Structure 1
């Protein structure tokens, strides 16, 4: 049975869902700083490194498709507990991995855990959204992942540079944190009515309510452009900074990822009161301009210019996601929230993973810089398409479809 909220319940449940989201994304970005070190130790070629990165994405996608909406049926708490414990196990395996096979298994399990956690935690934030703060869930569902990416990457980089046992610190802290999440989630009430899960409920689901499809389609190019950029920076950023931009420490690479995420947080906060249409148009424009600037910075081999360009890209990445959530979530029923978020994240993580595999195949042919230029050009085109599509759909289109505003 659903739980009964006290005056403190929304705040506690919302905070727990947000903290767990940040941790989940920190666990996704922190290992990326260890990739060059692991590649040297195990003698991995570039495509093997990107495969380790990408396997996380594809198991995550499988979990999103088959299990992304399961918390709408059995409740949020058991799903958060199971996902958190599985993520803790995967991090221990990654920590002690001594072969490419073990790395692939560890990242596959991590993707499975993240695939059931991400839509569940997103829906949980919406469940506990304070009534006095409309759109808070959309904002923090955008900011939380970016804070996690920045925290995981920058913390791992600093520990790699200044401690003798960085893996113990990074993975040990994350493992303990996820065990705590698994335990403390039971202190929040269950707001979802449990129903019997049939085998048909576990079929792949990739659908949103019909009245939202046009708006989602308009936002898809920007989501793809933003998450593709994010994936490329996480998979190849450390090597790019070291070989092409003169970065001599792990912190140089961590700063690039942090700049991407922090700029997204700042832009989302500054634009949160604007309409969904305005936010989306800004996002697409920033992604295009920032990507062009980053290609120019690479050509000049300028690290400061590259960080500045990445910040512009990051502001577009964060606001693209916010614009889509601000459009969809106010018009999504409680029984559809996890399913809709699973669709959004499926699109996002396909864009996150596929370009990294393509990049791994292209690097030996085009060099690292050449690969980033080619894929950057694709991202610019997608951003321009997103600008045109979203400009043609005013916010009042959605208002007419459900009788409310976006």
Structure 2
């Protein structure tokens, strides 16, 4: 159990590090004079780097063991935090995001597979809980630092650096759960193929996972600015509250639905995503920040349910030596959903639509994605029933 908690906490700190810059972008914009599209490009570069790292390093821990990959990923993440803490311009932010993306991409599959090695049921729950928990923690701590503490653009990264150092010591003491096997270098060649047993489940889960992570991308990149636009407040804490609310709702969904059938959980996630996006549209039409927060909470519940349902649909079909690779491909889908649409939204903000207009189109797009995911899930479930009969 302590080993599972350590690995879960490592996912939290890794993704807290990726969420920490979100409340700080307004400060960076004031200092260096860049536009919202630059913010979304920085965010998109991070997502793309994570994708590449997942494809290159995602299966490595199945051959070398979990610990070596995790220790290397922690060291790279620490380097990114140093770059953030000493950043002097947009170029430094981009460099830090690239380094951070390499670390996260290498670590996510190894951490997730390690938790499943230790305890299959609790590990699956932890895999679903920790991404939202990590992002929300990073945004909340960073917002509090900006609001109440000195030197927030340095302090939050130094605190996270201290946490990662302590976790590295814990990883050194972990018992290895994978026997080394030949093929480590060959595993670095990107491979998007799936074990046969996981292809059907992945086909059912993929549209849902993509859709719910597209929501996460919107909230992480543009959520604070949207809150500022509707409230008229420049409070960083208010802006960060929207992202934190989404992740809290996701955690609640993951925990309360943990014993529900995976397909039902995914259907719940789709329904909440559609309902939450519709409420966000109403908020944008009325200019109500309170309605926006309600829509965020409902959508966040959908994020937690949809992602948990996807993990619980796909991962149980993978064998132990396949887990890191399968989880990495799930995260590839996640970061495709997070990174691609939000860059398009950033372009729309700057070129004609404005922030509210771009958010409105994004919310409509989320509803369309969710409806498509619902149709795909129904079709896949029907095919599986026919084959079973």
Bin the TM-score by the shorter chain.
over 0.9
Query: In the alignment, what sits opposite 1:6?
Result: none
Q: Is 1:382 aligned with 2:374?
A: no
Cα deviation for residue 272 of structure 1 reads 1.1
Which of 179, 184, 188 is 2:165 aligned to?
A: 179
Distance (whole Å) between structure 1 residues aligned to residue 231 and residue 369 of structure 2 = 26
Cα deviation for residue 145 of structure 1 reads 1.0
**Structure 2: which 5+ residue stretches go unaligned?**
none
Cα deviation for residue 394 of structure 1 reads 4.3
Distance (whole Å) between structure 2 residues aligned to residue 398 and residue 81 of structure 1 = 44
Is 2:204–2:377's contact at 8 Å kept on the other side of the alignment? yes
Cα deviation for residue 231 of structure 1 reads 0.9
Query: In the alignment, what sits opposite 1:257?
Result: 243
Cα deviation for residue 218 of structure 1 reads 2.2
Q: Is 1:45 aligned with 2:35?
A: yes
Cα deviation for residue 398 of structure 1 reads 8.8
Which of 68, 92, 115 is 1:102 aligned to?
A: 92
Is 2:213–2:337's contact at 8 Å kept on the other side of the alignment? yes
Query: In the alignment, what sits opposite 2:114?
Result: 124
Distance (whole Å) between structure 2 residues aligned to residue 273 and residue 77 of structure 1 = 30
Distance (whole Å) between structure 1 residues aligned to residue 106 and residue 178 of structure 2 = 16
Cα deviation for residue 144 of structure 1 reads 0.8
Which of 194, 199, 207 is 1:213 aligned to?
A: 199
Query: In the alignment, what sits opposite 1:296?
Result: 282
Query: For each residue in 1:363-394, what CA deviation from the matched residue of structure 2 results, as whole angstroms up to 9, or x when unmatched?
Result: 12100111111121111011112222223444
**Structure 1: which 5+ residue stretches go unaligned?**
1-10, 402-406
Is 1:81–1:181's contact at 8 Å kept on the other side of the alignment? no
Cα deviation for residue 244 of structure 1 reads 2.9
Cα deviation for residue 197 of structure 1 reads 3.6
Query: In the alignment, what sits opposite 1:7?
Result: none
Distance (whole Å) between structure 1 residues aligned to residue 10 and residue 387 of structure 2 = 36
Q: CA RMSD in A?
A: 1.8
- Between the two proteins, the alignment pairs up a number of residues equal to 387
Cα deviation for residue 399 of structure 1 reads 12
Comparing 246-255 and 303-312, the one that deviates more: 246-255
Which of 5, 12, 20 is 2:10 aligned to?
A: 20
Query: In the alignment, what sits opposite 1:142?
Result: 128
Is 2:197–2:318's contact at 8 Å kept on the other side of the alignment? no
Compared CA separation, residues 270 and 396, structure 1 to 2 (3 A): farther
Which of 292, 298, 301 is 1:315 aligned to?
A: 301
After the TM superposition, which residues 233-244 of structure 1 pair with which residues of structure 2 at under 5 Å, given as runs?
233-244=219-230
Q: Is 1:286 aligned with 2:276?
A: no
Distance (whole Å) between structure 2 residues aligned to residue 322 and residue 337 of structure 1 = 16
Q: Is 1:354 aligned with 2:344?
A: no
Q: TM-score, normalised by structure 1?
A: 0.91
Is 2:85–2:155's contact at 8 Å kept on the other side of the alignment? no
Distance (whole Å) between structure 2 residues aligned to residue 67 and residue 119 of structure 1 = 8
Query: In the alignment, what sits opposite 1:196?
Result: 182
Is 2:55–2:332's contact at 8 Å kept on the other side of the alignment? yes
Query: In the alignment, what sits opposite 1:371?
Result: 358
